[in-house]
Structure 1
């Protein structure tokens, strides 16, 4: 029997205590947040010999759920809506991706005020959308012109955003220069030694670029973002950009850890130069257009992913479905289609299935109902695991000592 408290504590060993305490507190709030924070536990719980093993091998993001899709500016200057988290990316059976998405729909139903019947209906439509997209065999994408419903609402809202507004939310002015806002919600302070090391890293990285002055570091803080990765070594940097104060840019530097999915798949994985290379390479393969400014780097002899933070980066406000199920169905269907398109787009790369195999699988009908049944089993397991976690948390098992 799995000791839930022990597994979670062991997985999170070595993380920054202040942000880890935030993670543990968040995971106590609902089963859906618990699901987001325990990807490693989800895959450890999947039964062997299930319908999952009948699906073709593909590149997956590894942590597919309702909150891991969003908007971003591509390296061609256009804004897209796509999968946006690849920390757990690896080669795996294609249904590993979909089972986690379906489970997130069922587990997240309460947070979204969706009934049990509505959540199951969403699962059925998602499976249908995924299968249909695979069977067509052509990878597509979602940009503003092809978006609808709540995704279109997101694109429309982005028009009103400016870099100055974005900087004002994340920074504060001290005279004529900006500094990062240390609010305990988006950012925490760094000590002088860490600031010097991160600045020196960025100076060295920028020295190899055409415009090193653009990346001159003005300020550094520990970044607070996500749920599963809270506590991982991560920084936000304010850099000069196109000129202070309103032309500044924000960068994210995040340590890349091994995929928590890999120990639970039989598929042989490629040999990567680093975990950061894995994350960035898979992201390049599966996204229709790669995110602007995305690099695998090394800092303090450890792998990190360096990327830009953008005003155009956001998620769909799923709570705004306003009781109109078709609005929510459209978003979930888009997510399922994006899963299929990502798998088609990255097909035939280092062991992943080619399009013909994926088309054939999408045309089959024997895996769809068993997959939904498996998702309901996963939902039940997560509810039980969350209850166990809550009891342990309330009993003080996850108390983290944070130094003043």
Structure 2
């Protein structure tokens, strides 16, 4: 059997060599960061499980964990809290999604030095809330008007912030020389020729689109590193300035679309997507209540990309702050459970996903919850063991 190091190295072999080194180092930060960067290991192991409970086919984001929920401005300019990462999305058994997010609770709580008993309790509460929402048959959205508690406070702060002030944190927008700030942590300088090609490519797209970005001109581009699992993919960010209103700025992102890490293990028939980028944005559109602005696909130098408006900063709930107050943690987890069920309800009955009625019937069954919770608890223990092996073998990966 291959070692953890060999399995990880094989999976990441096709990524950008210099950036994958950043990924390897990031994964060593904690068991939870390791878990976020090894979605492929999770499904590679899951399909071998003998007692994993069966479930209906639904659309899943595929890599659902506590940090893949966050806020963003939709194409209606309203702020929403929702699932926000669909790189691994596919038509898959419902319990695959639940196993991933429940395992993330155990791993995250361990990383946060919280008692295992708290993880057991919160996982159970998460699943209960999920079942309640799924059984209602009605999808729910969360925005500043409908949110409660800490999520309401979080979204209200996001909504009130001035976009220009946020952009100033990642770009120099004063004077004539408008530039993205290069920090060599999340923003990296591009080679001159590639930068010019990217700016020309996006500029051409802007001229062809009939939506409101045609009022902007591209001023700068940089390489972007974000998240964990996607580090090593081609990912570019752009600074745009208004043509008429010079004080109006916009950030866009091109993110390479590649095959889902579930694909080798998911034997269920899938739609005939033209590209992986199309798969990602289509499932995102189906599962989210409102999608980010300018969601589209674009082909550049032989690769397919997802194009969308980029938030100046990833607005995620701070888990370390929540760890100080388990009542707040519970509030957030309940919202996440509601959103998980709602995304599946919203996308039900489409291209192979079961209809709403079958999801309601599944929620009423009592035979799958305990095996699922047991699997999540056991696999979280395996993640911690794999993390230790990974840290021990890391010197062989980092150059």
User: 1:371: how far off?
Assistant: 0.6
Per-residue CA deviation, residues 296-354 of structure 1 (Å, 9 max, x unaligned), is: 11111211001111358511122222632221111112111111111111001110010
- How is 1:227-376 mapped onto 2 (pairs within 5 angstroms)? 227-241=228-242, 246-311=247-312, 314-321=315-322, 323-376=324-377
User: 1:209: how far off?
Assistant: 1.6
| Residue 379 of structure 2 corresponds to residue 378 of structure 1 | yes
- How is 1:83-98 mapped onto 2 (pairs within 5 angstroms)? 83-98=83-98
Which residue of structure 2 aligns with residue 399 of structure 1? Answer: 398
Per-residue CA deviation, residues 48-73 of structure 1 (Å, 9 max, x unaligned), is: 46565521000000000000001111
User: 1:85: how far off?
Assistant: 0.2
- How is 1:116-127 mapped onto 2 (pairs within 5 angstroms)? 116-127=116-127
User: Unpaired segments of 5 or more residues in structure 2?
Assistant: none
| Residue 43 of structure 2 corresponds to residue 43 of structure 1 | yes
- Describe the shift of the 1:23–1:312 C-alpha distance in structure 2 as closer, same or farther (beyond 3 A): closer
- Distance in 1 between residues matched to 2:341 and 2:148, nearest whole Å: 18
Q: Secondary structure, in 3 states, of the residue corresponding to 2:321?
A: helix
- Distance in 1 between residues matched to 2:242 and 2:42, nearest whole Å: 41
Which residue of structure 2 aligns with residue 388 of structure 1? Answer: 389
Q: Secondary structure, in 3 states, of the residue corresponding to 1:190?
A: coil
* 8 A Cα contact 2:79 2:159, kept in partner: no
- Distance in 2 between residues matched to 1:225 and 1:253, nearest whole Å: 12
Which residue of structure 1 aligns with residue 164 of structure 2? Answer: 164
- Describe the shift of the 1:253–1:289 C-alpha distance in structure 2 as closer, same or farther (beyond 3 A): same
User: 1:197: how far off?
Assistant: 1.6
Which residue of structure 1 aligns with residue 143 of structure 2? Answer: 143
* 8 A Cα contact 2:53 2:368, kept in partner: no
Q: Which segment drifts farther, 151-160 or 126-135?
A: 151-160
Per-residue CA deviation, residues 77-116 of structure 1 (Å, 9 max, x unaligned), is: 2111000000000000001111110101101113333211
- Describe the shift of the 1:174–1:331 C-alpha distance in structure 2 as closer, same or farther (beyond 3 A): closer
* 8 A Cα contact 1:177 1:244, kept in partner: no
- How is 1:149-188 mapped onto 2 (pairs within 5 angstroms)? 149-173=149-173, 175-188=175-188
Q: Secondary structure, in 3 states, of the residue corresponding to 2:133?
A: helix
When the two chains are superposed, the root-mean-square deviation of aligned CA atoms in Å is 1.8
Calculate the TM-score normalised by the size of structure 1. 0.94
User: 1:185: how far off?
Assistant: 2.1
Which residue of structure 2 aligns with residue 108 of structure 1? Answer: 108
* 8 A Cα contact 2:4 2:386, kept in partner: yes
- Describe the shift of the 1:59–1:263 C-alpha distance in structure 2 as closer, same or farther (beyond 3 A): same
Q: Secondary structure, in 3 states, of the residue corresponding to 1:216?
A: strand
- Describe the shift of the 1:181–1:237 C-alpha distance in structure 2 as closer, same or farther (beyond 3 A): same
Q: Aligned pair count?
A: 398
- Distance in 1 between residues matched to 2:5 and 2:326, nearest whole Å: 37
Q: Secondary structure, in 3 states, of the residue corresponding to 2:220?
A: strand
- Distance in 1 between residues matched to 2:49 and 2:378, nearest whole Å: 15
Q: Secondary structure, in 3 states, of the residue corresponding to 1:339?
A: helix
User: Unpaired segments of 5 or more residues in structure 1?
Assistant: none
* 8 A Cα contact 1:130 1:340, kept in partner: yes
